[in-house]
Amino acid sequence: MGYPPPMDQNALKKQVGEAALKYVRDGMMLGVGTGSTVNFFIEALAASRIQLKGAVSSSEASSQRLRAAKIEVLELNDATTCDVYIDGADEVDRGLRMIKGGGAALTREKIVAAASRQFVCIADGSKLVDVLGKFPLPVEVIPMARSYVAREIVTLTGGQPEYRIGVKTDNGNVILDVHGLSITDPVKLETDLNQITGVVTNGIFARRPADVLLLGTPDGVKTSKA
Ligand X SMILES: O=C[C@H](O)[C@H](O)[C@H](O)COP(=O)(O)O
| Residues in touch with ligand X (CB under 6 A) | 33-37, 87-90, 100-106, 109
102 marked among binding-site residues: yes
Residue closest to 146 by CA, chosen among 125, 168, 176, 119? 176
Q: Which is nearer to ligand X, 101 or 136 (CB)?
A: 101
Q: Is 91 noted as a catalytic residue in this protein? A: no
Contact 183, 223 (CB under 8 A): no
35 marked among binding-site residues: yes
Helix, strand counts (H, E) of the chain: 7, 14
Q: Which is nearer to ligand X, 109 or 152 (CB)?
A: 109
For the chain, how are helix, strand and coil distributed in percent, rounded to 5? Answer: 35, 30, 40
155 marked among binding-site residues: no
34 marked among binding-site residues: yes
Residue closest to 18 by CA, chosen among 43, 55, 54, 50? 43
Name the region of 27 (left: φ>0; alpha: ψ -120 to 50; beta: rest).
Answer: left
The catalytic position among 18, 60, 91, 109 is 109
Closest distance to ligand X from the beta carbon of 113 (Å):
10
What does the H/E/C string look like for 72-110? CEECHHHHCCEEEEEECCCEECCCCCEECCCCCCHHHHH
Q: Which is nearer to ligand X, 38 or 150 (CB)?
A: 38
Closest distance to ligand X from the beta carbon of 159 (Å):
19
Residue closest to 33 by CA, chosen among 205, 218, 199? 205
Closest distance to ligand X from the beta carbon of 215 (Å):
13
Q: Which is nearer to ligand X, 35 or 133 (CB)?
A: 35
Q: Which is nearer to ligand X, 136 or 159 (CB)?
A: 136
Residue closest to 170 by CA, chosen among 214, 94, 88, 109? 109
Closest distance to ligand X from the beta carbon of 62 (Å):
10
Closest distance to ligand X from the beta carbon of 200 (Å):
13
Which residues, other chains included, contact 47 with Cβ-Cβ below 8 Å and sequence gap of 6+?
A: none
Annotated binding residues for substrate: 34-37, 87-90, 100-103, 127
Annotated binding residues: 34-37, 87-90, 100-103, 127
Q: Which residues are catalytic?
A: 109
